[in-house]
Amino acid sequence: MATHHSRSAARLMMAPAVVLLLGWMLVPLTMTLYFSFKKYLPLRGGDLGWVGFDNYVRFVSSSAFWPSVLTTLTLVGGVLLITVVLGVVLAILLNQPMWGQGMVRILVIAPFFVMPTVSALVWKNMFMDPNYGLLAHLWEFFGAQPVEWLSQASLPSIVMIVSWQWLPFATLILLTAIQSLDSEQLEAAEMDGAPAHKRFAFITLPHLGRAITVVILIQTIFLLSIFAEIFVTTGGAFGTKTLTYLIFQRVLESQNVGLGSAGGVYAIILANIIAIFLMRIVGKNLAK
Amino acid sequence: MGHIKLSQVSKRFGEVEVIPPLDLTIADGEFTVFVGPSGCGKSTLLRLIAGLEDVSAGHIEIDGADTTHVPPAKRGLAMVFQSYALYPHMSVKKNIAFPMRMAGVPLEEQERRISAAAEALNLTDYLDRRPGQLSGGQRQRVAIGRAIVREPQAFLFDEPLSNLDAALRVGMRMEIAELHKKLKTTMIYVTHDQVEAMTMADKIVVLRAGVIEQVGSPLELYHAPCNEFVAGFIGSPKMNLIKGAEAQKHGAATIGIRPEHVDVSASEGLWKATVGVAEHLGSDTFLHIHGVPGCDPLTVRVDGELPVKHGDEIFLTPQLEKLHRFDAQGLRVA
Ligand SMILES: Nc1ncnc2c1ncn2[C@@H]1O[C@H](COP(=O)(O)OP(=O)(O)O)[C@@H](O)[C@H]1O
Ligand SMILES: [Mg+2]
């Protein structure tokens, strides 16, 4: 029972965690806001005083801004599409009784445990390298000219690498959802005359709706801040500069902390717009 | 038409033979109940008929056509599942319409059948609700509605009432029985509850461990159970089975006497015994009696007005013409 006494004791004991979390979030946020209103060039004179909204105007009016927003949305959208579609397919396959099911499931989950930097390096050097990559060998085997993946099809390549990393997550969530589907519903639909593809469309897919929204929501949050995969593969060249990467370039390559901070604030706003938008949909879906 | 014939049908899951080869014929329009203890293979048998499980051997005929390898949707049977198996994201109306939608029935015809079914099942006010917003009894009715609109050759019910409370169960039992009188379609109904079987069936099939013990009308099973198992399973309270010297007097290994076929007297009778627990139901009283040789306790059903209580000494006499005799194998001796 939560008496007055035990409640205040609980609050006291929670306090350190709350303070730590608040500090963790508030300090960087305040510093970002603080620098975004300053002209701050660490290697070229340091703190050069307040400049009002100058940084904000310059960040948006730079020719790299809108392309970077578009790249971000393409990357996130592409990865979501691939992981959700393949995730549903894999979840259905993994749910079938088969020999060595446990082993196969572990193998499918494995990419999730590989660090982003490592997986990007593996893809870059072992698969996508135009001279000695596996894909190059495959292309040559069929007599085709090997593709220079990371320069000719740079954004799709990164979408592929990131999808490979996130597919296990989507599969895992969707597999647990599919396992909770009452098999009698499928049998009832079968007796009602629904062939396999209609059973999927009318029974399985609606049942997965909630899990799919959860996958989309969680993945979006993480995908908006994709960095290592771009840094390791293209370094932001060939149209792979996302908003996150643009901010990184402004702060570290141009050594313009003020401008980068303003970009950071834009990124926060973008993330929140998407989050509110998604929450609406998810809220609607979860309320059912 | 809904004439169903099973010939030498058997089912094994891996090494386990759940249903040894059996033969069974269900006539058109008959209300057949499969009854037996849990795990005896009733659902499996029903699913074999439905086509949801493949037979390991044997043949299933529906209306004279061999349907052993016909997919479930093409057998013209409708099934009502124990869990109702309604589609949770569809409204009641869409649930009921689903089989017709799959079959491509024209929309006006769909509307006509839906409103007819909704009317018959008291669902008219709930057509726009989701299954999650309905009570257990209403969900059951939606499941039945979804079966009716298909106008099937036969209905299959798998313990449809076991998730309902006792009062509702009695009501739905009547509704399903009335539905059968109205539609006159073949129905196969699975239950472990012998009261449901006795009250609803034209024909009862008693199963034990996948084997058909006896087939017959409720009263045939009540009056002439073919073995001890059926004798003990059919009837409530259960038949008293008496072994030993008392049975040998009648030339049998076991004799059976139903609780309602024992006369009670305060002064004279065959057996002198003591009343244990007396269950007063108002209309009747069930006495659990100790001291009868070969059967302890022996249950007796007496009039509710009879003044008996725990610890009373009474005399009992079985009605000899109602006595059942079984041999050492448990089979009925004529
Ligand atoms: N898919 C299956 N795999 C293996 N054994 C099964 C399967 N389905 C049912 N059984 C077994 O078959 C027997 C009969 O089951 P069931 O027909 O469901 O019994 P009932 O409906 O009479 O309670 C049980 O012993 C059960 O364990
Ligand atoms: Mg069962």
Quote the CA–CA distance of B193 and B201 in Å, as a whole number.
Answer: 12
Search chain A and give the residue with CA nearest B47. Answer: A187
Q: Is B244 a domain residue?
A: yes
Pairwise CA distance, residues B65 & A267, whole Å: 69
Tokens at A125, concatenated: 């050097």
Strand stretches in chain B, DSSP E = 4-13, 16-26, 31-35, 57-62, 65-66, 77-80, 154-158, 186-191, 203-208, 211-216, 240-243, 254-257, 262-265, 271-280, 284-290, 298-303, 313-318, 324-326
d(C-alpha B284, C-alpha B303), whole Å? 5
Rounded Cα distance between B284 and B14, Å, is 49
Residues B207 and B245 in one domain: no
Whether residues B92 and B47 fall in one domain: yes
Residues of A in contact with B81 (CB under 8 A): 184, 187-188
Neighbouring-strand partners of residue B189: B33, B157
B93 and A CB contact within 8 Å: no
pLDDT cut 90: percent of chain A above it: 46
Fold annotation for A40-287: MetI-like fold (1.10.3720)
B84 and B210: one domain?
Answer: yes
A193 close contact with B: CB closer than 8 A: yes
Confidence (pLDDT) at B224: 94
User: CB B83 to CB A194 under 8 A?
Assistant: no
Residue A279 has pLDDT above 70, yes or no: yes
| Measured distance CA(A219)–CA(A165) in Å, rounded | 11
Q: Residue A288 pLDDT more than 60?
A: no
**Residue A2 confidence (pLDDT):** 66
pLDDT tens, residue by residue, A221-244: 899 989 999 999 888 888 889 999
Contacts of B319 (CB under 8 A, 6+ apart): B257, B261, B262, B263
The answer to whether the peptide bond before residue B237 is cis (omega within 30 degrees of 0) is yes
To the nearest whole angstrom, how far is the Cα of A209 from the nearest Cα of chain B? 10
Of A192, A206, A207, which has the smallest distance from its Cβ to B98's Cβ?
A: A192
Last residue of a domain, one of B189, B205, B229: B229
**B73 vs A contacts (CB less than 8 Å):** 190-195
Average pLDDT over residues A241-267: 90
Atom of ligand 1 nearest to the CA of B159: 21
Which pLDDT band, with edges at 50, 70 and 90, does A45 fall under?
confident
A197 CB within 8 Å of a chain B CB: no
Testing ligand 1's pocket by substitution, the residue of B16, B17, B18 carrying the most ligand atoms inside 8 A of its CB is B18
A211 CB neighbours in chain B (<8 A) are none
Q: Do the chains contact at A192 and B83, CB–CB below 8 Å?
A: no
What single letter denotes the amino acid at residue A214?
Answer: V
DSSP, collapsed to helix, strand or coil, labels residue B146 as helix
Q: Based on the domain organization, do B219 and B242 belong to the same domain?
A: no
> Which residue from A102, A36, A80 is spatially nearest to A223, judged by alpha carbons?
A80
Say if residues B229 and B326 touch (Cβ distance below 8 Å).
no
pLDDT band at A253 (very low <50, low <70, confident <90, very high): confident
Residue A283 pLDDT greater than 80, yes or no: no
Whole-number Å distance, alpha carbon B46 to ligand 1 midpoint, is 11
- DSSP reduced 3-state for B205: strand
- Domain residue limits at B125: 4-229
Kindly provide the ipTM of the predicted complex, given to two decimals. Answer: 0.86
- Average pLDDT over every residue of A279-287: 71
Per-residue pLDDT band for A46 (boundaries 50, 70, 90) equals confident
Q: Which residues contact B40 (CB under 8 A, 6 or more apart)?
A: B207, B208, B209, B210
How much is the CA Rg of chain A, to the nearest whole Å?
Answer: 24
The DSSP code for B153 is: S
> Which among B51, B77, B81 has CB closest to A188?
B81
- Taking an 8 Å cut-off on Cβ atoms, the answer to whether A193 and B50 are in contact is no
Residues B244 and B222 in one domain: no
| Same domain, residue pair B287 and B224 | no
* Residue B306 and residue B250 share a domain: yes
Same domain assignment for residues B134 and B273: no
pLDDT above 70 (res A285): no
pLDDT at A1: 55
Q: Is residue B134 part of a domain?
A: yes
B158 CA closest ligand 1 atom index: 21
Beta strand pairing call for B271-280 and B313-318: antiparallel
* Interchain pair B73, A184: CB under 8 A: no
Ligand 1 site residues (CB inside 6 A) read: B 13, 18, 36, 38-44
Residue A87, pLDDT > 90, answer: yes
Domain shared by B219 and B241, yes or no: no
The pLDDT, as a whole number, for residue A146 is: 83
Q: Is residue B21 part of a domain?
A: yes
Q: Give the number of other CB atoms < 10 A from CB of residue B52.
A: 20
Share of chain A above pLDDT 70, in %: 98
At A148, the pLDDT band (50, 70, 90 cuts) reads confident
**Are residues B144 and B39 part of one domain?**
yes
Q: Give Cα separations from A250 to A31, A77, A245, A247, B308 (angstroms).
A: 16, 25, 9, 5, 98
- pLDDT value for A287: 60
Choose one of B194, B229, B264: the last residue of a domain: B229
Q: Note whether B89 contacts A209, CB cutoff 8 Å.
A: yes
Q: How far is the CA of A137 from the centre of ligand 1 (A)?
A: 53
Summarize the confidence of residues A40-54 as an average pLDDT: 83
The enclosing domain of B52 has a CATH number of 3.40.50.300
Contact of A188 with chain B, judged by CB distance below 8 Å, is answered with yes
- Residue B207's pLDDT is what? 95
CB contact under 8 A, B102 and A198: yes
Question: In terms of CA atoms, which chain A residue is nearest residue B158?
Answer: A184
| Cα–Cα dist B299/B303, whole Å | 13
Residue to test with chain A: of B79, B90, B110, B113, most A Cβ within 10 A: B79
Long-range contacts for B122-129 (Cβ within 8 Å, ≥24 apart)? B123/B92, B126/B92, B127/B91, B127/B92, B127/B93, B128/B91, B128/B92, B128/B93, B129/B91, B129/B92
- Would you say residue B308 lies in a domain? yes
Please check whether residue A274 is in contact with residue A224, taking contact to mean a CB–CB distance below 8 angstroms: yes
Question: Do the strands B4-13 and B16-26 form a parallel or antiparallel pair, or are they unpaired?
Answer: antiparallel
| Ligand (nearest to CA of B48) | 1
Question: Which residues make Cβ contacts (< 8 Å) with residue B148, sequence separation at least 6?
Answer: B78, B117, B120, B121, B179, B183
Can you give the pLDDT at residue B256? 93
Q: Which of B13, B22, B233 to mutate to test the pocket of ligand 1 (most atoms within 8 A of CB)?
A: B13
Last residue of a domain, one of B208, B229, B250: B229
The total of structural domains in chain B comes to 2
Residue B290 in any domain: the answer is yes
- Residue by residue, what is the 3-state secondary structure of chain A? CCCHHHHHHHHHHHHHHHHHHHHHHHHHHHHHHHHHCEEEECCCCEEEEECCCHHHHHHHHCCCHHHHHHHHHHHHHHHHHHHHHHHHHHHHHHHCCCCCHHHHHHHHHHHHHCCHHHHHHHHHHHHCCCCCCHHHHHHHHCCCCCCCHHHHCHHHHHHHHHHHHHHHHHHHHHHHHHHCCCHHHHHHHHHCCCCHHHHHHHHHHHHHHHHHHHHHHHHHHHHCCCCHHHHHHCCCCCCCCCHHHHHHHHHHHCCCHHHHHHHHHHHHHHHHHHHHHHHHHHHHHHHC
| Domain assignments of chain A as residue spans, ordered by start | 40-287
- Local confidence pLDDT in tens for the 334 residues of chain B: 789 999 999 999 989 999 999 999 999 999 999 999 999 999 999 999 999 999 999 999 999 899 999 999 999 999 999 999 999 999 999 999 999 999 999 999 999 999 999 998 889 999 999 999 998 889 999 999 999 999 999 999 999 998 888 888 998 899 999 999 999 999 999 999 999 999 999 999 999 999 999 999 999 999 999 999 999 999 989 999 999 888 898 889 999 999 999 999 988 888 999 999 999 999 999 999 998 888 888 999 999 888 888 888 999 999 999 999 999 998 998 7
What b/e sequence results for B198-223 when a residue is b if at least 16 CB atoms lie within 10 Å of its CB, and e otherwise? bebbebbbbbbebebbbbbebeebbe
What count of residues does chain B have? Answer: 334
Question: What is the per-residue pLDDT for B95?
Answer: 95
Q: What is the pLDDT of residue B19?
A: 94
DSSP label at residue B126: G
| Residue A161 sits at the chain B interface (C-beta within 8 Å) | no
CA B28/CA B5 separation, integer angstroms:
10
Given pLDDT bands bounded at 50, 70 and 90, which one contains residue A133?
confident
Name the minimum distance, in Å, from the CA of B93 to any CA of chain A: 15
Q: B50 CA distance to ligand 1 centroid (A)?
A: 15
For residue B287, the domain's CATH number is 2.40.50.140
Closest chain B C-alpha to A138 CA, distance in angstroms: 43
Which residue carries 């370039």 as its tokens?
A: A249
